[in-house]
Chain A
Amino acid sequence: MTDNLPARRNLLSRIPFQVILEPRLEEPPRWYPWFITILAVVIALLIGAVILALAGGNPWATYAHIGRAAFGNLGVLSDTMVKAIPLMIVGLACSLAFRMRIWNIGAEGQFFMGAFGASAVVLTPMLPADAPSWLFIPCMLIAGMLCGAIWGFIPGFLKAKFNVNEIISTLMMNYIAISWNNYWIFAVWTEGGFQMSRVFPRNAWLPRLTDFAAEVPLFRGLTTHFGLVLALVAAVIVWLILYRSQWGYEIRLVGDNPRAAHYAGISIGRNIVYVMMLSGALAGMAGMSEISGVVHRLQGAISPGYGFTGIIVAWLAKLNPLAVIPVSILFGALILAGREIQPSGIPKMMNGIILVCLIASDFLLRYRISITRRMEEE
């Protein structure tokens, strides 16, 4: 009955402070969301440090090591960029889809299909081995993007037509893509029974900085490749699409309120299919750039989870295509340095902690928290 209420209240009122949450009635200043984001990352790093320390490691040495291993000199900085390039492109793919609240978790599979498509041009072969670079690279790019787009089209179509949950379907498509790739690597394009194809001819490689070492000696040994240009151009194009085009307006409207979009005469189904195709094509482009710029052959291990890290990149960048670029570089560093960190699951766990902190921090954008002294009379 009501009699026991005062007792409960007494217990609470022993705490001299109370936390009050109020929904924000005004937009916070522009810098505030980024401040919160950085705060979240810092807190995530601290949590990670605690876990590292508990696991018996030295967190500060680890972090310092990550910093040195990723940014210490021009050589490792270039390696960081190499890791960042696929993240940028996949991050763009995710940003675009997430902006419409289409949860494309299938970038990993689309990445593999992009790699497959690009490889098929070389290995089938669709072009003679001595075809010039200017023909090889565009063809590989188109083939990779096409394969990625097909992989995006299937879940997009199922979502539009039958309202099939795209989270599950894109994820299942990942597993299928990896098996598909394995079949070709093992059964068809295997080189001497090994689980990889032969190395691509040089004219199917994306140009790297080191290729220009003759002209610029500084570039010697730097493996940053032309994919960086592709990524930057793609970022600008995706930004223009989202904020300066009719289609981008439709994407943003569908993403914020599909019922309003329907009411405004926008076809939601068609947009889902288009966005999934472009998102898949971008992820496919990342696969192509990785194959043609770094690995130079088709094999099983071409991605340390770029497709999934891209999700975090997109979220950390607040789905802003231009912010994807710096965020990708940070995560590129984490992947690069992470290869040397033991146990090997740490980068993955750090990704998880960062994402958890980020999502939790969004609360601060919507609510104001004030801690006040409790009134005596209460």
Chain B
Amino acid sequence: MAQPDATHPPENVVQMRKIVKRFPGVLANDHVDFELRRGEIHALLGENGAGKSTLMNILAGLYRPDSGSILVEGRPVNFATPRDAIRAGIGMIHQHFMLVPSQTVTENILLGLEEPRFRLQLARYDQRVAELGERFGMKVDPRARVWQLSVGEQQRVEILKMLYRGAEILIMDEPTAVLAPTEVEELFSILRAMTREGKSIIFISHKLHEVMAISDRITVLRRGRVTASNLNTHEVTRAELARLMVGREVIFSLDKKPVTPGEVVLKVEDLWAENDKGLPALRGVNLTVRQGEIVGLAGVAGNGQRELAEVITGLRKATRGRVFVSGEDITNRPVRQGIRRGVSHIPEDRTHVGSAPNLSVTDNVIMKNYNQPPISRGWILNAVAANGYAERLKKEYDIIVPTLQTPVRMLSGGNLQRVILAREISSQPTLMIAMQPTRGLDVGAIEGVHRLLLAQRENGAAILLISEELEELIDLSDRVVVIYEGKIMGEVSDGNVEEIGMMMTGIPQDAIRAGEADHDR
């Protein structure tokens, strides 16, 4: 193998030329060029579905391009598997961590390696992993099982996994999506420590402020094409980037009419519940939501948001505390009781919870009212009435399907979300629990969802909006409540991002305000 010239190392460690990748029905990458310099942090910016992850999955050997070429250290490469990419020094850290929860940190790191040959001898490797972590300022217990670790720690395991394999180029797919603001800072300092050692980093993101904060150069993708490449970060503005990313001027304002909140609809008192592993996920939550009010629940993923939504809707048992809807105690009552009281629920997981993939559009939209007239009379399900109802929703909510008998697994993400929204909104809910309603949607679809939520607010529904997008929460909500490790840290109604951010890392509001008072004195 030819050695790269030591005196003149090639400027670009990675060059991707005219990459084309088609998926059935989508052109994910359309002649995309990309380059990465040694020791830089290069941001790959774009909306959801712009083709960023696809491009990087190609570089990481997970997908093969339909055409185009890749040069690493100046030599053409052709990765058939991720293992080939790792051998060439390229490691990718995916948005969903690729860690085996039941195995230890060291076991996860050793997975797929040729050494140890047969016997594991974990103790010896625990030592090596710990040493490697210290070198880059990452503290992780090598013997801990992955499911016991926090999200931030798991991310560090992922990084260690790649460093252990001698990765020189690290691809990070939306690494901050799951982190609290302070954890983001820690991650950034780890990334900087790595570039100081000569590693190069590709930072995939759709969050402008983070890209501005961490990257040296930026490449922007839109709908599978490069709209700007190799911009120097200090030479561009946020607004320019936003336009490049979305393709038009972005209006950061919503038409939010003033609504006077009415009576209390949802009242949660000292609520406790466990997560799937049997560990406490909610630890004494108190919360109220009134008519005509959107209450945003902010927090880093995995701090009890999902459990809270599930306990309110009856999907999960509370171990202590009470949930009232319109004054009626529905704690640990069957799901159906909540549905009857007008609780609607847009679940986080659209395909695994919110829909039945092989059933028709009609069967999916009647999921919540199949047992009520006119769709049902007695035992009998009126197929004509059900289809008529589905036809009406299809028109009202612009659901694009060939026929109402099409199984919903054939629908795109945005269309599927519209089916779910149509179902949950058309029931005229008194209380709506909306969890990550815009995740994975493109800008147009996001605006549509926002408008529907605001319309419900004007209709007098009480809405609990759970999201990890702080901007979305602040724009839509009348109040933002912050949750951390199953406890409510405080409440903000003036959109004070800084305060929300601090609460998301576990500092209670009282402490923050007391601290400020100290400063003033």
Contact = CB atoms under 8 A, between A and B. Distances in A.
13 contacts: A2-B84, A2-B87, A26-B410, A27-B406, A249-B381, A259-B352, A260-B352, A260-B356, A261-B356, A263-B345, A263-B367, A264-B367, A264-B368
Interface of B: 1, 24-25, 77-80, 84, 87-88, 313-315, 334-336, 338-339, 345, 347, 352-359, 363, 366-368, 370-371, 376, 379-381, 383, 402, 406-407, 410
Interface string A17-29: 0000011011100
B371 A246 contact: yes
Interface stretch (A51-59, A75-83, A250-258, A299-307): A250-258
A247 B379 contact: yes
Nearest to B340: A265
A243 interface: yes
A3 interface: yes
B80 to A, nearest CB: 6
A175 B78 CA distance: 57
Given A3-B1, A27-B410, A257 B379 contact: no
Given A26-B402, A246-B371, A260-B356, A1 B380 contact: no
B336 A265 contact: yes
A264 to B, nearest CB: 4
B24 A22 contact: yes
Given A244-B380, A259-B352, 7 more contacts: A246-B381, A249-B363, A252-B359, A253-B367, A257-B355, A265-B334, A266-B336
A257 B356 contact: yes
Nearest to A1: B87
B264 to A, nearest CB: 24
A2 B370 contact: no
A248 interface: yes
A5 B85 CA distance: 12
Given A25-B24, A27-B406, A246-B379, A263 B78 contact: no
A260 B381 contact: no
Greatest chain B CB density within 10 A among A2, A27, A244, A261 is at A2
A253 B315 CA distance: 16
Interface string A315-327: 0000000000000
A252 to B, nearest CB: 6
Contact of A246 (B80, B336, B380): B380
A267 interface: yes
A6 B79 CA distance: 11
Contacts of B353: 259-260, 263
Given A245-B379, A263-B345, A5 B356 contact: no
Nearest to A260: B356
A25 B401 CA distance: 12
B507 to A, nearest CB: 35
B356 A262 contact: no
Instruction: Return the 8 tightest CB-CB contacts between A and B, nearest first.
Output: A265-B336, A265-B335, A256-B356, A264-B367, A257-B356, A260-B356, A256-B358, A259-B353
Contacts of B315: 262-263
A256 B345 CA distance: 20
Most buried by A among B24, B80, B356, B371: B356
A15 B116 CA distance: 38
A244 B363 CA distance: 12
Interface residues of A, number: 32
Interface string A47-66: 00000000000000000000
A244 B381 contact: yes
A3 B383 CA distance: 62
Contacts of A260: 352-356, 367
Nearest to B406: A27
A374 to B, nearest CB: 14
Nearest to A243: B383
Contacts of B368: 264-265
Contacts of A23: 24
Contact of B357 (A27, A256, A263): A256
> Which residue of A5, A6, A246, A253 has the most chain B CB atoms within 10 A of its CB atom?
A246
Contacts of B77: 2
Contacts of B338: 265
B88 A2 contact: yes
B433 to A, nearest CB: 11
Contacts of A26: 402, 410
B335 A246 contact: no
A9 B366 CA distance: 51
A1 B402 CA distance: 49
A50 B374 CA distance: 57
A259 B410 CA distance: 19
A267 B335 CA distance: 9
A253 B359 contact: yes
Contact of A264 (B335, B379, B406): B335
Contacts of A261: 356
A1 B2 CA distance: 13
Nearest to A22: B24
Nearest to B75: A2
A333 B339 CA distance: 51
B359 A256 contact: yes
A331 to B, nearest CB: 26
Given A3-B1, A263-B335, A265-B335, A25 B410 contact: yes
A252 B356 CA distance: 9
Interface in A221-252: 243-249, 252
Contacts of A266: 336
Contacts of B366: 249
A1 B80 CA distance: 12
Given A3-B1, A22-B24, A265-B339, A246 B370 contact: yes
Interface in A248-288: 248-249, 252-253, 256-257, 259-267
A6 to B, nearest CB: 8
A302 to B, nearest CB: 35
B84 A245 contact: no
A257 B357 contact: yes
A243 B352 CA distance: 23
Contacts of B376: 246
B80 A5 contact: yes
Contacts of A247: 379
A221 to B, nearest CB: 43
B209 to A, nearest CB: 35
A378 to B, nearest CB: 10
A267 B336 CA distance: 9
A261 B347 CA distance: 13
Contact of A249 (B79, B352, B370, B410): B370
A245 B315 CA distance: 25
Contact of A5 (B78, B345, B406): B78
B420 to A, nearest CB: 10
A248 B381 contact: yes
Nearest to B336: A265
Contacts of A1: 1, 87
A17 B178 CA distance: 45
Contacts of B406: 27
Contacts of B79: 2
A362 to B, nearest CB: 12
Nearest to B386: A249
A247 B357 CA distance: 19
A244 B383 contact: yes
A243 B382 CA distance: 10
